[in-house]
Amino acid sequence: MLIITTVISILVISVFVSLANRILSFTVCPICAGVFLTWVGLVSAHFMGYSIDLVVPALLMGGSVVGITYQLEKKFRDSSANVLLLWKVFFIPVGFVVAYAILGQLWVAFLSGVTFLFLISFALASSSSTADSHTKATGDIEKKMENCC
């Protein structure tokens, strides 16, 4: 029965977010919001003492980890393929550990994992902007050489 409630929750939240996107100055993925808010609600209910089968929010949390990775990957598309793959190799498993830490109320592991995810993502973003500046500088030099003679 919980899975039916979960699916309905995802659908209802997704519809509301889709409607809200028409008004907001930014857009939010309706399905991502539906999945995220549903598992947050299920985990919150569990913490408040309700009997929740934690398999259901765990499934949704795994989807959120992969979805976050996919969304961030779009931001880092200028990074080399090897660096991006290495980032994903760390991001997804550590994201699963963070999700597990939430369910197990292991707050030190949660904070450590989130900090690690932030740091590796920040490092990748920094390397992307450095690569962009190198590419731009190379392009500028090539243009100057073409216009030279």
pTM: 0.81
**Per-residue pLDDT at 126:** 84
Among the ranges given (5-14, 79-88, 119-128, 138-147), the one the predictor scored with the smallest mean pLDDT? 138-147
In 3-state terms, the chain is what percent helix, strand and coil (to 5)? 85, 0, 15
Instruction: Please tell me the distance from the alpha carbon of residue 84 to that of residue 74, in angstroms, as a whole number.
Output: 10
Give 141's pLDDT tier (boundaries 50, 70, 90). low
Task: Report pLDDT digits (tens) over 46-70.
Answer: 999 999 999 999 999 999 999 999 9
Task: State the DSSP H helix or E strand holding residue 51, giving kind and residue range, or none if neither.
Answer: none
Q: What is the largest CA-CA distance in the chain?
A: 77
Task: Report pLDDT digits (tens) over 72-91.
Answer: 998 888 888 889 999 999 99
Asked if residue 139 has pLDDT above 70, the reply is no
| For the chain, percent of residues with pLDDT exceeding 90 | 75
> Is 84 within 8 Å of 121 (Cβ atoms)?
no
Listed in order, strand segments (DSSP E) in the chain are none
